Amino acid sequence: MEENFWKQLKKPFFALAPMDDVTDFPFRTMLALHGKPDVLWTEFVSADGLMHPDGLKALLPKLEYDGEAERPIVAQLFSASPEKIRQAAYLIADLGFDGVDINMGCPDKAINKQGAGAALIKSPSLAAEIIIAAKEGVASHHRPIPVSVKTRIGWNEDELETWLPTLLATRPAAITVHARTRKEMSLVPARWDRIARAVEIAKGTGVLIIGNGDVTDLADAHAKARETGADGVMLGRAALGNPWVFNAHKKDIRVEEKLLALIEHSKIFEQFYGEGHRFDVMRKHYKAYANGFSGARQLRTTLMESKNAADAERIVAEFIASVGAEIKRSVLE
């Protein structure tokens, strides 16, 4: 019998968006420690790569998670091959994840060239095959898990009226709708009226609709859920540099708290990957942590030189010492 955690969630629920090179183990650990969302998502992972002997070893770190601390946790896959998705979905179930999600919204040209990600919007019959294959993959496991999809409202134009029914016909457990087309990337405001329309189209199917795009914080997420009727709302960029974003009890964040979180994140990153492992990945997090307070710009510039967690800790300590006690007490702008 399928173990469908989606049915147990109180609505509206709030989820972490999957972001490549962002929602890795250290990042999700920070959220689990400071304000865990209702559902966590991994980075997207190539199903084709997972099914290759060399690729499996290289990609498994993307699928590391901390047992009960991160549940429910969903692993996201991408591929244009139903067979690879079928095999990879079984693996995801075997790794103990609570769900598997199929990426049908990534606008990256390299991914789209493979026929995966948002390119599947142009191949609706193949998209349906892939969802069915994923469901077959998890159904063959002794612990079946639910299959969900993350997509956009269209390729070049808004195709929600025809695209969403194609996905709904395969009965995934949930569909996350990013309220932009692939062509629009993230260059225009998300159209949440289309999320409301997606809710209408999905009514009676039993498929949950999750809205995504331009959600600034938890209060905004609640408002968008009320306005659209969405079952859930997904936050992505709002979580960068803000591990408290899903914490309803955390109202004001002091500058010192944010800087200490930066150090904590750096140490967890280094502990997980090992010293010397692509520490430049942390730079995008530093840009987000060192933001919204006096002196942040100079601090960001200096942090870009960090080669390890010790560097980051020293730079932050020197900054705090130089600005004095006032900034320790100040709340972010």
**Residue ranges of the alpha helices (H) in 158-217?**
160-168, 192-202
Mark whether 164 and 43 lie in a shared domain. Answer: yes
Q: Is residue 315 exposed (0-12), middle (13-18) or buried (19+ Cβ within 10 Å)?
A: buried
Question: Is 70 exceeded by the pLDDT of residue 72?
Answer: yes
pLDDT band at 53 (very low <50, low <70, confident <90, very high): confident
The residues with which 104 forms a beta bridge, in sequence order, are 151
pLDDT value of position 326 = 63
Angle at Cα 193 formed by Cα 187 and Cα 197, nearest 5°? 125
Report the alpha-carbon distance of residue 212 to residue 16 in Å, rounded.
Answer: 10
Instruction: Establish how many alpha carbons lie within 13 A of residue 136's alpha carbon, considering only the half-sphere containing its beta carbon.
Output: 12
Q: Which of 183, 212, 239 is the last residue of a domain?
A: 239
Q: Which two tokens stand for residue 125?
A: 């019959």
**E-strand spans in the chain?**
13-16, 40-46, 73-78, 99-104, 147-154, 174-181, 208-212, 232-235
State the amino acid at position 172 in one-letter form.
P
pLDDT value of position 327 = 62
Domain-embedded: residue 248: no
Backbone angles phi and psi of 163, in degrees to 5 = -70, -50
pLDDT band at 330 (very low <50, low <70, confident <90, very high): low
Strands 40-46 and 232-235 come out as unpaired
pLDDT value of position 269 = 95
Q: Which of 189, 213, 239 is the last residue of a domain?
A: 239
Mark whether 138 and 203 lie in a shared domain. Answer: yes
pLDDT band at 1 (very low <50, low <70, confident <90, very high): very low
- Over residues 216-230, the mean pLDDT reads 98
Angle at Cα 186 formed by Cα 45 and Cα 302, nearest 5°? 80
The residues with which 102 forms a beta bridge, in sequence order, are 77, 149
Catalytic residues: 106
Q: CB–CB of 87/123 below 8 Å? A: no
Q: CB–CB of 261/30 below 8 Å? A: yes
Concatenated DSSP letters of 193-207: HHHHHHHHHHTTS--
Domain-embedded: residue 246: no
Task: Give the chain's end-to-end CA distance (angstroms, integer).
Answer: 50
Mark whether 295 and 216 lie in a shared domain. Answer: no
Domain-embedded: residue 52: yes
Q: Which of 210, 239, 268 is the last residue of a domain?
A: 239
Q: What percent of the chain has pLDDT over 70?
A: 96
pLDDT band at 276 (very low <50, low <70, confident <90, very high): low
Instruction: Establish how many alpha carbons lie within 13 A of residue 161's alpha carbon, considering only the half-sphere containing its beta carbon.
Output: 2
Q: What percent of the chain has pLDDT over 90?
A: 88
Domain-embedded: residue 219: yes
Q: CB–CB of 110/127 below 8 Å? A: no
Domain-embedded: residue 270: yes
Q: CB–CB of 175/127 below 8 Å? A: no
Mark whether 232 and 278 lie in a shared domain. Answer: no
Q: Which two tokens stand for residue 75?
A: 């692993």
Mark whether 150 and 270 lie in a shared domain. Answer: no
Concatenated DSSP letters of 110-152: HHHHTT-GGGGGG-HHHHHHHHHHHHHHHHTSSS---EEEEEE
Mark whether 235 and 259 lie in a shared domain. Answer: no
What's the domain count of the chain? Answer: 2
Mark whether 83 and 201 lie in a shared domain. Answer: yes
Q: CB–CB of 150/103 below 8 Å? A: yes
pLDDT band at 252 (very low <50, low <70, confident <90, very high): confident
Domain-embedded: residue 205: yes
Tens digit of each residue's pLDDT (9 = 90 or more) over 105-120: 999 999 999 999 999 9
Q: CB–CB of 328/320 below 8 Å? A: yes
Q: Among 52, 80, 63, which residue's Cα sits nearest to residue 18?
A: 63
What residues make up the domain containing 61?
A: 7-239
